[in-house]
Amino acid sequence: MNKIIFIFFYTFLLNTVLFAQNLTSVSGYSNPIISGFHPDPSICRVGDSYYLVTSSFEFFPGIPIYESKDLINWKQIGHCLTRNSQVDLSKTGIWSGVWAPTIRFNQGVFYMITTNVTHGGNFYVTATNPAGPWSDPIFIDRDMFDPSLFFDTDGKVYYTRRGQKGIVQSEIDIKTGKLVNPLKVISNGYLSPDTEGPHLYKIGEWYYLMTAEGGTRALHMVNIGRSKSPWGPFEKCINNPILAQHHNYSLIRSAGHGDLIEAKDGSWWMVFLATRHYNYDATSFLGRETFLAPVKWVDGWPTIDESVVNNLYINSPILPTQAMASDSNRDEFNKTQLGLQWNFLRNPSDESWSLQKDTGKLNLFGNSYNLSDIASPAFIGRRQQHIDFEAETYFTFNPTKPNEEAGVTMFLNFQQHYDFAVTIRNNTRTLIIRKTIGDIVAEQVAIPIKQQSIYLKIKGDKDYYTFSYSPDGEKFIIAGKGNPQFLGPEISSAWTGVYIALYATGNGAKNRNVARFDFFNYEPLASPFSK
């Protein structure tokens, strides 16, 4: 009997150990690695740290920069473009601003190269500390976009970008930004003449030219070729596209515009953009987000398993995870500077906002511009990063004229936004919900209110934004709802994602009637799409 008990116990213990070992051998991560509007990711590694930048379009400061130790957990450490002397975003509309950055590191210096489509063209800035400050821009040329830099082992530096007739390249004097030789076409595209987002790498004895092709919607993809010369000709990979999701019934679409990175353990990875959709007809109102794919090399070519663009959870060995301390989702506005999560709409006017540190308030002063102007209204917003979320603020505002208005907006661009605000209607302080979709503007809710201070709450899910208010922060009353699908960038061919913003406006007249915000709280809610 004792022998039987021993055998049973030993078998149980052995199975338990094997089960535990099996659990620890299974690893993986969830995409996106940086959620919400974070398109066109580019990445570099310095020692055991990784740095990543994404496009910012008409929002200021420009080009957010993130740091990670494991490629999975990221923390924003700054922006590359924080001064008006670096970036002019005046009159920047839906399809312009700053996009498609590339970040590289060489001999102790970080380089971020990008395009200001509206003002100045292609330029780069430098820093010795990726958190900043970054230098004033060195402009190169104005034609086309998606510039990249490659530092070769022989000391030469190459400037590569989209051109009128394909991908063009020149050697560049990295100190001055002057081109050493005329731009030369080095690729007309591997599978599509609509080719952009080039990155040049030297891996072993080969130069690889990786591009984004097919446009940044349903036909987006990543292709690659190789050559023994940085000038080509580039042999096409027979497995192109190496990354794509051309089945529009998938939860993940628009996969493309990638950048390769070798991790500190010798493994290879690609960061790329993609969009999430909860069903066949859903728009991508969160915008294009940053995803991560493990890369394997087969016969000298990078390969990516198709499951990466079919599933949000990737069952793959990963680097040892190291959590990054993140900023709180709650902002009491009691510091001397705004948190890194906040953006202005284009270059802000110093007269449109202030932080009142002693009392912990954010003051917004409505100027003559409103949210439908291609200008700089009093606007401070953060990205919507989760399909399911809840956001709340408490503010004081005492309008005296019908043009005076302040509140919260779910904002995609000047043609698509839902505004939840306090103003004057019929000589009475009134809470309104206004929806702007293209040239259709509808003020659907007008609720008279007595109090000068009020709590506003917006709860989002895949079907609705629900707008609620409360005089005391305890009992909230639903004022109305809005369909997030109409804030999808596909409707206006925009390239950004929804922001949740605090704003004030004089709607055509300068207004020093201040809106004082006590706090802003943003909380993701658990759901299959809560990442």
The residues assigned a catalytic role are 40, 196
Distance between CA atoms of 130 and 52, rounded to whole angstroms?
10
What is the C-alpha separation between 522 and 31, in angstroms, rounded?
Answer: 21
DSSP state letter for 19: H
Cα–Cα distance measured from residue 128 to residue 424, given in angstroms and rounded to the nearest whole number: 51
For the residues of 261-330, what is the DSSP string, one character each? EE-TTS-EEEEEEEEE-SSTT---TT--EEEEEEEEEETTEEE--GGGGT-SEE----PPP-------SE
- What CA–CA distance (Å, rounded) separates 188 from 286? 32
Cβ atoms < 10 Å from Cβ of 293: 25
DSSP strand E in 97-220: where? 98-106, 109-116, 121-127, 138-141, 148-151, 157-163, 166-173, 178-179, 184-187, 195-203, 206-213
CA angle 233, 43, 497 (to 5 degrees): 105
Query: How many CB atoms within 10 Å of residue 344?
Result: 22
471 sits in which H/E element: none
Q: What CA–CA distance (Å, rounded) separates 505 from 507?
A: 5
